Amino acid sequence: MIEDCGQIASLHKKSISLLCQNIRSINKNFDSLTTLLERSRTYWDLIILTECWLYNSPPLPSMQEYTSVATNQHRSQNEGVVIFFRSHLQASVSEPLVQDANCLLLKLNNDTVVIAIYRSPAVRNVATFLDSLNELLKSVSYYKNIILTGDININIHETSDDSRATEYLTMLAYHGMLPAHTLPTRHGNSCLDHLILKTRHPAFCFVANTSITDHDTVLLFLENHTKSSYSRQKTRTIRILDHEKIELDLLEADFSPVYTSPDVNEATEFFISTLKQIIVQNSTFKVVSNRKRLSKPWMTPGLLRCLRNRDNLHLKSKKNPDNEILQTTFKRYRNYCSMILKTTKSNYNKEQISNAQNNNKKLWEAIKSVTDTAKVKTHADALLSHANPESSVNEANGYFASIGRTLAENIPAVATVPPQTDVRQACHNSLALLGTDEAELDHLIMNLRSDCAIGSDNISAAFLKKNKNILIPHLTYICNLAFSSGTFPNAFKLAVVHPIHKGGDRNRLNNYRPISILPTLSKLLERLMNNRLVKFLNQNHILSSSQYGFRSGISTNNAVLDLTNTIVTKLDEKQKVIGVFLDLAKAFDTISVPTLIAKLERIGIRGTQLSLFSSYLTGRRQCLRIGDWTSDELPITFGVPQGSIIGPTLFLIYINDLCQLKLPNASIFTYADDTALIFSGDSWDLVFQYAQSGLAIVTSWLAQNLLTLNVAKTNYLTFSFSAAGKPSSSSFALIAHSCISTHNIGCDCPHLNRVSCIKYLGVQIDDCLTFGTHIDTLTTRLRRLIYVLKNLRDVADSKVIKRVYLALCQSLIQYCIVSWGGSGRSHMLKVERAQRALLKVGWKLPYRFPTTDLYKTCKVLTVRKIYILNLLMTTHGHTPYDPSLISQRRKHSVCPYIRTNFASAQRFFRFLSSHVYNNTNKLLNIYPLYKSKCKAKIINWLLDLDYFETENILAVLK
């Protein structure tokens, strides 16, 4: 019985535990798998699932404390292998090519390899499969422990006379591998789910009778002496604060040294140490079982007993296949258990969503739980060495702390920037950091996120909010002291780094993203500095209009729209156009602090204010934390502070000169470090010369500012309305020169890749501006959301369904739709069909429900109407208000019409916006309205339009 696993696991505490199950659709039977794992009372290290039906399937369900990997190569909808492995394991997974089968290969602890295979029974000839598997086993033969498991569909039962089994077992024996069992795993005497081992360690294997599918579960415990170092903790400790006593202690605390010290560092250190002491004195610690945390709330004891009885009946029916009464009883009871499981879970989900109706945060947590879209926390335990974890965290911290310095040291010397690229002169005005007051700090504290991580000071935002009336006067004094002394407190400069796995080999540091957590008190002082700095930058128009990142009122929609408008305008003027899309390696980490300070002084940050920013940027430190292990502190000498509030603004100042370079016949578009250069000219020869010259200027500027151009990911496109207008790929080339010579003759500098499509700020831009690739990608993403709405529709009402649709589906459709929404009708139909499928599934409507009634029933806009809405609102925001036009709105156009030379240019915002806005304004008089009223009026109008009326608005596209 599966319930015996807990007792067996207690006898094999130093073993690697493995569970292998043919699941026959992971999304359909995942709840049954979850109940099986709960009944086993074992925290399995590896869970291997075969026949997962992964072809065009929705995203994989998630399990807390597990990382999942799935196969990508499938020939039919029934195939697929998935491995769930404990997140703290030192494991790496790859997908080797095995003919006629799906395969995942997991390497564990440098001495163990696990091969998970599913081979479809439809493939009768096993010779190709055996040859391919033989080559794979040769490549891993040096591993001490090899585990091969999965649904191989070759019967190796001792009573089998299948000649294929003999060939299979002979080949395995040649590699020193033997079956751990030959027990039946399916009806009759069929042993199709194998467990083949090569090891010198003791192993315990058995087959558990289960009824998720008609395959039983194969279980393994393989002794491994390194197991104890990563065994799961059964309990965790949480801290509980006595807020009433804390408030009393804060009122009685003596904070006078804060005011008597002229040194902001001493005042800050005393303030923080006092808070820490009070928090520690009023903290109690409670030990909580991790098992309770992992249990599914809807898994009641009665449900588990029902499933146990079902499996008992299943075992009896297998032993008595001729007993028709027993077979019928089992099938009825199995169906009854399935109904109970679904009903219990559904009722629980309904209750969770119903109870969270008035709390948006809890509502979305419930929705993510129901739809299996909640993100699973990833752990970096794989970076810890079992022998010396302290050395491991120090090594990881050293790697992340030195990224900027390493890249800067590898930048080659280049020729100086030519005189014509000099940027704007220094700003004559100076920044004045006016002091703050208690009201401003009160506002900033209340805007802090209560659920954000705690930094090195161990002071949370929730703690500040609860005690703000007591703490604000002291914080106000410290902030004003920092302003007047020009010193940023050292206690605010220590960052705690948490590495987050991005993908790939979990044992490699470059596959992790360092997330820096700064002290909560630091965020308040940074916000004060940033608010004053941004106001100064805006008042003096210092930031380039070509910079769209991290700026209020400007988004990626603006960047992509202006980029496409520029390209379309040049093409319509019969110009040749090249777009170069730059990729900067670790741009935030490689910023030179002395150079940034010099740039700050040039734009008007001088005197005490400059001293404060210099103090903020220098003397910074970081430590790295993985689980209970914390590294030593290391200095950070390059880059702006990660995770900081003011860091993005400082980066914009640093890279601002790039936006203002004088490039020949070029326009520059930047969103933070995502930079696009658009060159135009009368001929391809001329525009390539412009692009080569401009690229040389940019690469020279990047090198002088210690920024690294990633040439391998920097690509360019040649734009044209038709394929016939583009140059041949062999005619021209762009070179990223990094050599010192100004002649560049015969140099070995790398060539840029010419591509037909590139992803810029989430939009796939192709060289003919059809946006076909982007629409195909969008359609795929929309169809994947069908599974989300399908899971939600039975447990949520129509209001919740609509909220989810607007948040997840319509937000995808309208992202940058002003740039691509004028695409051809055949392309847009793909998006509309995906949208209709989502609506029918979410509202439980028939497959052939009339389209004309669909949108009225759901009360949402069609794709075309979403495009018109965004087109009108963007034009409304770009149109300056002139009161003299209000009384003459029906006689005069409020937007000037644009004429085009090519019909292809009429599909884009530059031409279409004025026509649609002027015609709509004549009907609705939206020109004098504020944004919110204008949008509401347009939506109400669009909801009443039928299909043909909508198409008439965009008649110019025909």
> CA torsion, points 509, 515, 518, 523, in degrees to nearest 10?
150
Mean pLDDT of 258-263: 91
Least confident of 145-154, 494-503, 568-577: 494-503
Quickly count: other Cβ atoms within 10 Å of residue 354's Cβ.
Answer: 14
Amino acid at 666: A
pLDDT at 229 over 50: no
Tokens of 456: 């090195």
User: pTM here?
Assistant: 0.86
Q: Which stretches of 487-644 are DSSP H helices?
A: 520-539, 556-572, 593-602, 607-617
pLDDT at 412: 65
Check if the beta carbon of residue 151 is closer than 8 Å to that of residue 215: yes
Tokens of 39: 């009944």
Residue pLDDT, tens place only, 354-363: 888 888 888 8
Of 444 and 953, the structure prediction assigns the larger pLDDT to 444
Q: Give DSSP secondary structure letters for 424-458.
A: PPPPSS----PPP-HHHHHHHHHTS-TTSPP-TT-
pLDDT at 482: 95
Residue pLDDT, tens place only, 323-355: 999 999 999 999 999 899 889 989 999 998 988
Check if the beta carbon of residue 798 is closer than 8 Å to that of residue 857: no
Least confident of 181-185, 461-465, 947-951: 947-951
Closest CA to 649 of 567, 547, 571: 547
Tokens of 928: 């004098």
Mean pLDDT of 157-177: 91
Amino acid at 500: I
pLDDT at 405: 84
Q: E strand or H helix at 328, and its extent?
A: helix 324-355
Least confident of 453-462, 744-753, 913-922: 744-753
HSE, side-chain direction, 13 A CA sphere, residue 534: 16
Residue pLDDT, tens place only, 652-688: 999 999 999 999 999 999 999 999 999 999 999 999 9
pLDDT at 689: 94
Q: E strand or H helix at 666, and its extent?
A: strand 666-671
Mean pLDDT of 916-927: 89
State CA 30 to chain mean position distance. 24
Tokens of 458: 């161990």
- Give the model's confidence band at 230: pLDDT under 50 very low, under 70 low, under 90 confident, else very high: very low
Tokens of 319: 């032993």
Residues pairing with 719 in the sheet: 577
pLDDT at 450 over 60: yes
What does the alpha-carbon distance between residue 496 and residue 499 come to, in Å, rounded to a whole number?
10
Amino acid at 696: A
Q: Ramachandran region of residue 233, left (φ > 0), alpha (ψ -120 to 50) or beta?
A: beta
Q: What is the mean pLDDT of the chain?
A: 88
Tokens of 227: 């197991």
pLDDT at 899: 87
CA geometry: angle 613, 619, 621, nearest 5 deg: 120
What does the alpha-carbon distance between residue 626 and residue 480 come to, in Å, rounded to a whole number?
36
Sign of the Cα torsion 411, 412, 413, 415 reads negative
What does the alpha-carbon distance between residue 830 and residue 852 come to, in Å, rounded to a whole number?
17
Name the residue with tokens 């392309």: 827
Name the residue with tokens 């509030």: 645
pLDDT at 765: 96
Q: Which stretches of 603-748 are DSSP H helices?
A: 607-617, 647-659, 684-704
Closest CA to 127 of 80, 178, 168: 168
Q: Which stretches of 190-236 are DSSP H helices?
A: none
